């Protein structure tokens, strides 16, 4: 009788342990409202770019203080919002951060970065002094 009671008790403890282990679900990334923000942007609904950037910065700070990772695409999305309000330098930094955090995004981020790069200067075909018109009149 004692063995049966001990076996039932051991099974109950194991079941309780299994249930508690399943109840503690930890995700790899701290998603927050990010998926909904992306969806709203695609539908052209929701908050303004400035409001979204503010909410995303708050989320990033919350994730940082919780020592949690930001999800894939978070920095890229924030970079696109920064770009939409004219902050190309900030967008470039965020695209670089996304590329560093998720190396598999490098080809995609490189395309954005290439579009942000200033155009290459056009080489002068002749020195400026040589292209000035010559005059015979004294100065």
The mean pLDDT of 113-123, rounded to a whole number, is: 80
Count: domains in the chain: 1
The mean pLDDT of 63-74, rounded to a whole number, is: 94
Assess whether pLDDT exceeds 70 at residue 64: yes
28's tokens: 């790899």
Cα–chain center distance at 25? 24
Q: What is the pLDDT of residue 9?
A: 54
φ and ψ at residue 40, rounded to 5 degrees: -65, -40
Q: What is the pLDDT of residue 26?
A: 64
Q: What is the pLDDT of residue 62?
A: 94
In a domain, 74, yes or no: yes
- Residues 73 and 39: their CA atoms lie apart, in Å, by 13
Closest CA to 56 of 42, 68, 38: 38
Closest CA to 71 of 100, 104, 36, 28: 28
Determine which of 61-65, 105-109, 125-129 has the lowest per-residue pLDDT on average: 125-129
In a domain, 122, yes or no: no
In a domain, 85, yes or no: yes
pTM for this structure? 0.65
In a domain, 131, yes or no: no
Could you give the C-alpha distances from 40 to 45, 52, 53, in angstroms and in order? 5, 10, 13
Instruction: Residue 69: give the domain boundaries.
Output: 34-116
Determine which of 24-33, 67-76, 104-113 has the lowest per-residue pLDDT on average: 24-33
In a domain, 59, yes or no: yes
In a domain, 87, yes or no: yes
Contacts of 93 (CB under 8 A, 6+ apart): 79
In a domain, 55, yes or no: yes
In a domain, 57, yes or no: yes
- Top pLDDT among 97 and 45 is at 97
Q: What is the DSSP letter of 102?
A: -
């Amino acid at each position: 009788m004692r063995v049966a009671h001990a076996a039932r008790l051991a099974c109950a403890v194991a079941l309780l342990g299994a249930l508690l282990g399943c109840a503690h679900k930890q995700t790899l990334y701290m998603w927050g409202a990010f998926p909904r923000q992306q969806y709203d942007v695609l539908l052209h609904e929701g908050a303004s770019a400035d409001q979204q950037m503010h909410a995303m910065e708050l989320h990033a700070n919350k994730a940082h203080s919780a020592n949690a990772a930001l999800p894939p695409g978070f920095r890229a999305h924030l970079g696109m919002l920064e770009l939409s309000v004219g902050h190309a330098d900030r967008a470039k930094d965020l695209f670089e951060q996304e590329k560093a955090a998720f190396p598999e995004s490098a080809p995609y981020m490189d395309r954005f970065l290439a579009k942000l790069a200033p155009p290459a200067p056009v080489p002068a075909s002749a020195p400026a002094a040589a292209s000035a018109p010559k005059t015979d009149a004294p100065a």
